[in-house]
Amino acid sequence: MADWLPDAIATRPRNGYAVCMTVTVTLDLPPDADAESPDELVRRLRLLWALDEVRQGRMTRVRAAHVLGLGLDDFLRVASEHGVDAIDYDVDDFRQELAQGS
């Protein structure tokens, strides 16, 4: 596994301790998928999973950065490369706040 990735994903703290969960996934990949190392494939799959969790609103950007072992600025840069905005702010909420401020 890549050394910057945690071995397990910490979930909700319980009594001040993080509960960890390890999941093993088996995938059938096409023969040409072996062009990259298993470590690189694991890194990419974790990244794509975290990005999907952020897109679906099930994980914050800060949490995703932590899970991936990245600083927030690095995560936001990578997320941007995958079409995930740094800020998730509803346009209507923004307009309402602007109207209240004037």
Looking up residue 65, the CATH number of its domain turns out to be 1.10.10
Domain-located, residue 44 = yes
In a domain, residue 4? The reply is no
Q: Is residue 79 part of a domain?
A: yes
pTM of the model: 0.67
Question: For residue 57, is it within any domain?
Answer: yes
Q: Which domain holds residue 81?
A: 9-26+35-101
Per-residue pLDDT of the chain (102 residues; tens, 9 = 90+): 344 444 444 444 555 555 567 888 888 888 887 778 888 888 999 999 999 999 999 999 999 999 999 999 999 999 999 999 888 777 888 788 888 875
Q: How many domains does the chain fold into?
A: 1
Element of type H or E holding 21:
strand 17-21
Burial class (CB in 10 A: 0-12, 13-18, 19+), 34: exposed
